[in-house]
């Protein structure tokens, strides 16, 4: 295990202990159904999910959601936040249909609360697209990633990490659909954005470089593909350690 991996595990363990202690303290102070308990549970759930403790994370998010629905109602933005967190962990657990229902529910409510061109609307639109990708519904995934991209262009302009994230996801769908040249164009644009804004050795650069390698391999541009794979691997080894698996990602 590399030093960076060990540090990450220790940091997550410390965060888990911190939020478990905070949850116990707040439950003693406020009771079990107070909005502060929902906040604590969501923070704890995020850490548990990062640790791969999906069942425990799911329980934390489900409990937080029940508090939010009682306190704020089923369509409030705070409730949508808990729904979104629960959707993420269900996605991790392979419960795609259930995750889709939750993300779609939250998307409808967020649009009502904040309008069609809000950052939360873009994120939930992207999440719906991600589930459709996992379900193999590429046309639907493509449409939702394009919607997310259009919202983020309105919010941030053409040169922002959120734009790069949408381009990366869109490119992965285009690749699966066989539109390799279009996917290559998206990924080159995403790579340029991430390099200039996040720096040349950022994990998001590795993600895009790896996915660009996939497209170039499919295009039979093997030497250039190898260059991007190697670059992605070197970044990931430095950030995560040498045992981290390199894989195509969506965000």
Distance CA 28, CA 225 (A): 57
pLDDT of amino acid 10? 76
Class of the CATH domain delimited by 1-114? mainly alpha
pLDDT of amino acid 169? 98
Distance CA 147, CA 240 (A): 32
Distance CA 60, CA 63 (A): 5
With b for 16 or more beta-carbon neighbours within 10 A and e for fewer, the 62-101 pattern comes to ebbbebbbeebeebebbbbbbbbbbbbbbbeeebbeebbe
pLDDT of amino acid 5? 54
DSSP state of 251: -
* H or E element at residue 41: helix 35-50
Asked if 184 and 212 touch (Cβ cutoff 8 Å), the reply is yes
DSSP state of 34: S
Please write down the long-range contacts of 76-83, taking CB distance under 8 Å and 24 or more positions apart: 76/109, 76/113, 77/109, 77/110, 77/113, 77/114, 77/120, 78/35, 78/38, 79/109, 80/106, 80/109, 80/110, 80/113, 80/120, 80/124, 81/42, 82/38, 82/42
pLDDT of amino acid 248? 42
Q: How far is CA 30 from the centre of its chain?
A: 32
Tokens 């449409």 locate to: 143
Domain ranges of the chain: 1-114
pLDDT of amino acid 251? 56
Pull the structure tokens for residue 44. 């704890």
For the chain, 251 residues long, give each residue's pLDDT as a single digit of tens.
555 555 567 789 999 999 999 999 999 999 999 999 999 999 999 999 999 999 999 999 999 999 999 999 999 999 999 999 999 999 999 999 999 999 999 999 999 999 999 999 999 999 999 999 999 999 999 999 999 999 999 999 999 999 999 999 999 999 999 999 999 999 999 999 999 999 999 999 999 999 999 999 999 999 999 999 999 999 999 988 865 444 444 55
């Amino acid at each position: 295990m590399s030093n960076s991996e060990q540090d990450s595990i220790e940091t997550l363990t410390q965060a888990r202990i911190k939020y478990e202690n905070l949850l116990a303290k707040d439950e003693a102070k406020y009771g079990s159904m107070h909005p502060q308990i929902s906040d604590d549970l969501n923070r704890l759930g995020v850490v548990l999910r990062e640790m791969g403790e999906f069942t425990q994370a799911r329980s934390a998010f489900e409990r937080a959601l029940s508090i939010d629905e009682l306190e704020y109602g089923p369509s409030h933005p705070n409730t949508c936040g808990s729904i979104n967190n629960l959707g993420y962990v269900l996605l991790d657990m392979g419960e795609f249909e259930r995750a889709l229902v939750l993300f779609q529910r939250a998307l409808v409510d967020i649009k009502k609360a904040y309008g069609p061109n809000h950052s939360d609307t873009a994120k939930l639109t992207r999440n719906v697209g991600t589930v459709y990708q996992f379900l193999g519904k590429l046309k639907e995934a493509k449409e939702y990633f394009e919607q997310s991209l259009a919202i983020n262009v309105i919010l941030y302009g053409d040169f922002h990490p959120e734009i790069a994230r949408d381009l990366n996801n869109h490119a992965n769908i285009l690749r699966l659909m066989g539109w390799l040249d279009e996917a290559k164009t998206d990924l080159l644009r995403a790579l340029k954005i991430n390099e200039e804004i996040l720096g040349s050795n950022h994990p998001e650069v590795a993600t895009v470089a790896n996915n660009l390698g996939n497209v170039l391999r499919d295009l039979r541009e093997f030497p250039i593909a190898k260059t991007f794979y190697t670059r992605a691997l070197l970044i990931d080894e430095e950030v995560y350690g040498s045992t981290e698996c390199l894989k195509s990602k969506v965000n």
